Amino acid sequence: DAGVTQSPTHLIKTRGQHVTLRCSPISGHKSVSWYQQVLGQGPQFIFQYYEKEERGRGNFPDRFSARQFPNYSSELNVNALLLGDSALYLCASSFRVWEQYFGPGTRLTVT
Amino acid sequence: GESVGLHLPTLSVQEGDNSIINCAYSNSASDYFIWYKQESGKGPQFIIDIRSNMDKRQGQRVTVLLNKTVKHLSLQIAATQPGDSAVYFCASPGDSNTGKLIFGQGTTLQVKP
């Protein structure tokens, strides 16, 4: 069975630009969560979506937004990129709320 | 606030030995814990989970122990192999029903041949 897929794998952007990251969950999973992982640290929760509705939001500015589509795939959007947004962005899908399975991540570099 | 933390940033073990990775948590109401393994350049991989109504759970070569009295859990890896080299995170739910998992800082396991 295919796991969680994310695209693109790597991305380089300039400060002030915006970026869209994409995630496809495991088949049958209706919930998608987004995390940011800075080098050397554990993942930090950004959002969780369930059945196209935002279930939870972490301590991130409004520059971060997301949505979930009818096929349960999801997009994470970040506007007005800052150098500090450089990180690995992880998507996790789950059938139950807490048993979350992660994708390989998108490595975002902001210059 | 809630926190989940690991005791050692790095653990070095000899191939074939057993490894023990420790984690402490602050929220006594936490009732579910997950261990993840993250290899270089990859996303975290679900290893094993445990609910607070259990003290111990075993998987393939891994055992998780939960001590609710001292708010501590550990991941034991039997007969450690080079492929076990990775960063290990413990995680626990944050706010109820938001889907937020709180992760520790991670312990890097190095396996010496």
What was the pLDDT predicted at B94?
A: 82
Residue B96 confidence (pLDDT) above 70? no
Residue A2 pLDDT > 90: no
Contact state of A42 with B105 under an 8 Å Cβ cutoff: yes
Residues of A in contact with B5 (CB under 8 A): none
Q: How does DSSP assign A19-68, residue by residue?
A: EEEEEEPPTT--EEEEEEE-TTS--EEEEEEETTEEEEE-S--TTEEEEE
Q: Categorize the per-residue pLDDT at A110 as very low, low, confident or very high, splitting at 50, 70 and 90.
A: very high
A·B CB contacts under 8 A: 70
pLDDT score recorded for residue B76? 98
Asked if B101 lies within 8 A of A98 by C-beta distance, the reply is yes
Of the pLDDT bands very low, low, confident and very high (cuts 50, 70, 90), residue B6 is: low
Q: Is the pLDDT of residue B1 over 60?
A: no
Distance from CA of B45 to the nearest CA of A (A): 7
Gap between the Cα atoms of B32 and A98, Å rounded: 8
Q: Is A103 on the interface with B (CB under 8 A)?
A: yes
List the beta strands (DSSP E) in chain B. Answer: 4-6, 10-14, 19-25, 32-38, 45-51, 56-58, 62-67, 72-77, 86-93, 101-103, 107-112
Residue A78 has pLDDT above 80, yes or no: yes
pLDDT of residue B34: 94
Substitution target in B10, B100, B108 with the highest count of A β-carbons within 10 Å is B100
